[in-house]
């Protein structure tokens, strides 16, 4: 479990998080969504012990992250958006650094490199950005850490590589493991991320499972919004694209995220099935 308890954190005199609380259960592949500057990367670094909260606490499987003891560091793996690329081969890296990961699955590491088409004998620092990213992801998913924190892992990957990453992520999930993926490219991973956590305004704006999303929402093309339980809508030349508080028609995760940020009160009301805020307690529709 990864737990944030009443966390306050900021840079300089500014406050990024205030009294933020979040609990991530084992067996989850969490999608962490938020606007640029919302603090997604900082949240991952707080969990990894690379940053310290000014108030509150962060723990990973019962160990406080800020203490950075050996057992914690062996049980957490953070992959930044632009990971470090040592000037050695993957085979040399494993021999030199694998000792710090006692639960490292070496067979899985080389299998993932093969899946990602990364040459295990080439100098990692001389690989392309996308290939360096795939090396770092392969190392993280095979290192044996129970908490794997991935910051924008699909940035720099081409379309076939994104499919490879999805397969690897599905393979790496386990009942005793927490995978947290911070991403702006929700469509790349929306069939794997469950639950979704939206960070906004220094707090957890909302969180929901894929089952709740399918049950409560759908994105529909409408010619009129009159009389419909519309959470959010965008107008175009042919009518409206709307997030409607009705399940069954499918909901695009990026559109859902936009709706949650634009209409947080309506979105949070629709999640548990309450009436949308509006006139005399009725479902409000956009005019």
pLDDT in tens, 18-75: 999 999 999 999 999 999 999 999 999 999 999 999 999 999 999 999 999 999 999 9
pLDDT of the residue at 287: 39
Domain residue limits, the chain? 2-208, 210-279
Q: How far apart are CA 131 and CA 125, in angstroms?
A: 10
What is the spatial distance between Cα 220 and Cα 231, in angstroms, rounded to a whole number? Answer: 11
Q: What are the tokens at 120?
A: 């295990």
pTM over 0.85? The answer is yes
* pLDDT band with cut points at 50, 70 and 90 for residue 281: very low
User: pLDDT tens digit string along 174-232?
Assistant: 899 999 999 988 888 888 899 999 999 999 999 999 889 889 999 999 999 999 999 99
Give one word for 144, left, alpha or beta, with left for phi > 0 and alpha for psi -120 to 50.
Answer: left
Residue 33, both tokens:
């969504």
String of DSSP letters for 112-170: HHHHTT--TTSBGGGS-HHHHHHHHHHHHHHS--SEEEEESTTTT--HHHHHHHHHHHH
Distance CA 248, CA 280 (A): 27
Mean pLDDT computed over 100-118:
92
Sequence length of the chain is 287
Is the pLDDT higher at 220 or at 286? Answer: 220
Q: Which residue has the tokens 């005199």?
A: 13
Residue 150 forms beta bridges with which residues?
79, 181
Look at domain 2-208 and name its CATH class. Answer: alpha beta
Structure tokens belonging to residue 84: 């470090």
């Amino acid at each position: 479990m990864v737990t944030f308890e009443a966390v306050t954190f900021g840079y300089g005199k500014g406050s990024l998080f205030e009294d933020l609380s979040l609990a991530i259960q084992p067996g989850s592949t969490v999608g962490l969504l938020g606007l640029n500057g919302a603090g997604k990367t900082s949240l991952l670094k707080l969990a990894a012990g690379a940053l310290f909260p000014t108030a509150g606490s962060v723990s990973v499987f019962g160990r406080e992250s800020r203490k950075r003891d050996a057992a914690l560091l062996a049980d957490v793996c953070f992959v930044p958006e632009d990971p470090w690329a040592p000037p050695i081969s993957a085979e040399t890296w494993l021999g030199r650094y694998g000792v710090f990961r006692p639960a490292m699955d070496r067979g899985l590491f080389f299998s993932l490199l093969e899946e990602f088409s990364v040459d295990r004998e080439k100098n990692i620092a001389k690989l392309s950005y996308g290939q360096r990213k795939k090396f770092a992801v392969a190392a993280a998913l095979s290192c044996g850490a129970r908490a794997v924190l991935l910051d924008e892992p699909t940035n720099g990957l081409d379309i076939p590589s994104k499919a490879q990453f999805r397969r690897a992520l599905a393979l790496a999930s386990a009942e005793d493991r927490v995978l947290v993926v911070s991403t702006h490219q929700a469509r790349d991973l929306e069939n794997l991320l469950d639950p979704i956590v939206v960070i906004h305004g220094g707090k957890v704006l909302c969180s929901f499972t894929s089952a709740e999303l399918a049950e409560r929402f759908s994105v529909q093309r409408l010619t009129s919004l009159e009389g419909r339980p519309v959470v959010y809508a965008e107008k175009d030349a042919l009518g409206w694209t709307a997030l409607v508080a009705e399940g069954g028609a499918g909901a695009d995760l990026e559109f859902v995220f936009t709706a949650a940020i634009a209409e947080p009160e309506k979105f949070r009301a629709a999640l548990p099935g309450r009436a949308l805020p509006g006139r005399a307690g009725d479902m409000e529709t956009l005019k």
